[in-house]
């Protein structure tokens, strides 16, 4: 842990000298992480082997009853499927859009800076406020469609399973594309000009430059952004909770919502903790998978020391 070499390949001397101080620097973060991350996690793991209604003082150890209840419940594969669907679809919508907007915004023109500021606005709003607003706009009788007299906007948006899923993905994308665009904007600006100049000398056009230089050079940005998207949609809760509460029926009940409903609405803390553990495991697995995807060949990108 102490001697993880930073990517810049420091000389042996600095590594030895810096290691003591660096370890100390990690202490505050480590304390917070242990206090608010690891200890509660262990608590949840312990709770998943108990039966507790969240009210009484006695928490009884009950072995694997919570786990077998959760694992045999058809609600779990459904919730996993819904979570996966939201993850995959919102990634598919957000990534191409964010890359394009990010590349566009990386240009130094004035109007683009102005647009960048405008695009950023959805990110400043809280998810709950966004959900309440969209709920009002999508109301079939008093919403946008009825107000403007546009029939195609007057749908049973949140009452039909497929439409509700679409609405969730649309709003998530609307909210987070600005953030990911910002990541890509930064990524594009770090690509050395010299590469484009070389390509131009070889007669490459805009499209060719985008696919042969920009995209490959953005590899790590794509991985970072995808990790944030995937893990973010795994824990997506506030927006769905306010917008559909998992409904209609259980059409948008993601894993995080399933956990909350079991724990705090149905008073089943054991099974809710089991789902929490599953959530952590799935999240860890996905994050590891995406890291692996990045590979270890640091030379693939020429951002540093080109």
Rule CB under 8 A: which residues touch another protein?
A: 17, 20-21, 24-25, 27-28, 31-32, 35, 53-57, 135-136, 138-142, 154-161, 244-245, 247-250, 261-262, 264-268
- Rounded to whole angstroms, how far apart are CA atoms 220 and 217? 8
Widest CA span in the chain: 75
27 versus 207: smaller Cβ distance to another protein? 27
Shortest CB 280 distance to another protein, Å: 21
Helix or strand or coil: residue 156? Answer: coil
160 versus 286: smaller Cβ distance to another protein? 160
DSSP tally for the chain: helices H, then strands E: 15, 2
Shortest CB 55 distance to another protein, Å: 4
Q: Which segments of 43-151 are extended strands (E)?
A: 50-51, 60-61
- Rounded to whole angstroms, how far apart are CA atoms 261 and 168? 19
93 versus 245: smaller Cβ distance to another protein? 245
What token pair was written down for 54? 């969240």
Closest alpha carbon to 99 in 218, 228, 207: 218
Shortest CB 226 distance to another protein, Å: 32
Shortest CB 236 distance to another protein, Å: 19
Shortest CB 211 distance to another protein, Å: 42
Q: Which segments of 36-148 are extended strands (E)?
A: 50-51, 60-61
122 versus 161: smaller Cβ distance to another protein? 161
115 versus 146: smaller Cβ distance to another protein? 146
Q: Tokens 């599953």 sit at which residue? A: 278
- For 10, list phi and psi in degrees, rounded to 5: -75, 165
Closest alpha carbon to 229 in 100, 82, 97, 94: 94
Shortest CB 168 distance to another protein, Å: 13
27 versus 306: smaller Cβ distance to another protein? 27
């Amino acid at each position: 842990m102490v001697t993880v070499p930073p990517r810049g390949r420091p000389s042996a001397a600095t590594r030895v000298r810096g290691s003591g101080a660096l370890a100390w620097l990690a202490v505050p973060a480590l304390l917070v992480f242990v206090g608010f991350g690891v200890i509660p996690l262990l608590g949840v793991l312990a709770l998943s082997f108990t039966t507790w209604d969240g009210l009484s003082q006695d928490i009884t150890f009950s072995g694997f009853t919570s786990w077998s209840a959760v694992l045999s419940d058809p609600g779990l594969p459904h919730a996993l499927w819904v979570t996966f669907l939201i993850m995959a679809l919102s990634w598919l919508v957000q990534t191409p859009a964010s890359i394009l907007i990010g590349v566009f915004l990386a240009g130094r023109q004035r109007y683009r800076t102005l647009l960048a500021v405008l695009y950023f606005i959805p990110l400043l709003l809280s998810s709950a406020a966004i959900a309440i607003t969209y709920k009002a706009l999508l109301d079939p009788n008093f919403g946008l469609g009825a107000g403007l007299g546009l029939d195609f906007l007057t749908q049973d948006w949140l009452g039909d399973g497929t439409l509700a899923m679409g609405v969730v993905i649309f709003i998530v994308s609307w909210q987070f594309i600005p953030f990911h665009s910002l990541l890509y904007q930064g990524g594009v600006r770090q690509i050395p000009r010299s590469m484009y100049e070389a390509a131009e000398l070889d007669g490459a056009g805009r499209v060719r430059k985008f696919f042969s230089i920009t995209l490959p050079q953005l590899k790590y940005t794509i991985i970072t952004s995808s990790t944030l998207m995937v893990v973010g949609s795994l824990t997506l809760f506030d927006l769905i909770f306010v917008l559909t509460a998992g409904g209609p029926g259980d059409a948008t009940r993601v894993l995080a919502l399933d956990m909350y409903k079991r724990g705090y609405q149905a008073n089943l803390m054991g099974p809710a903790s089991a789902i929490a553990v599953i959530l952590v495991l799935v999240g860890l697995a996905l994050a590891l998978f995406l890291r692996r995807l990045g590979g270890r060949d640091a030379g693939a990108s020429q951002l540093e020391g080109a």
